[in-house]
Amino acid sequence: MTLSYRQLNLLGFLGIQFALCFALYLQYKGYEPCPFCMFQRVAMIAVGFAFLAAFIHGPKAWGQWVYVFLVSMFSLVGAGIAARHVWLQSLPPDQVPACGPTLDYLMEMLPLGEVVQTVLRGDGNCAKIDAQWLGISLPGWVLISFFGLVVYAILTALLPKFLRKPA
């Protein structure tokens, strides 16, 4: 059984929905997301919308590469945020920036551009490692996931062409 380009994009979208539901489950279990985590979720949502748009549109030929570009762009932004988060978590305790205000407070008090700059600088809240799996922190897994999504997006455009039966 082979899957079409559209079906592969639907699977990508559903995979992202699963990841976001898992993040909400962890939040429900008491793992409060830091501002970096929230920005990673926004990037993941953007990737999900790109997969959903590709599924709905179902473009042919070069149009598929437009969606590969969108997924890759949003994924690389998310990977950059996740990489910064992992780096912050790797700092020795004496080099971790002081804890700052919550994201809600920043959104109320500052323009959006300053909020983004403040959050991307990071603070002590983001340096705390709440959970690990196989020795990798949650932001580390998100970083791996974003790179995996780029590879998956490229494969969605390539695989259906290679798996088609000759006429």
Contact 155, 163 (CB under 8 A): no
DSSP, res 110: S
What is the per-residue pLDDT across 8-38, written as a single tens digit (0 to 9) for each? 899 999 999 999 998 889 888 877 777 778 8
Compute the distance between CA of residue 147 and CA of residue 141 in angstroms, rounded to an integer: 10
What is the per-residue pLDDT across 71-127, written as a single tens digit (0 to 9) for each? 999 999 999 988 888 887 777 767 666 555 666 666 776 777 777 666 655 554 666
**In the chain, domain spans:** 5-162
Instruction: Write out the CATH class of domain 5-162.
Output: mainly alpha
Compute the distance between CA of residue 153 and CA of residue 35 in angstroms, rounded to an integer: 27
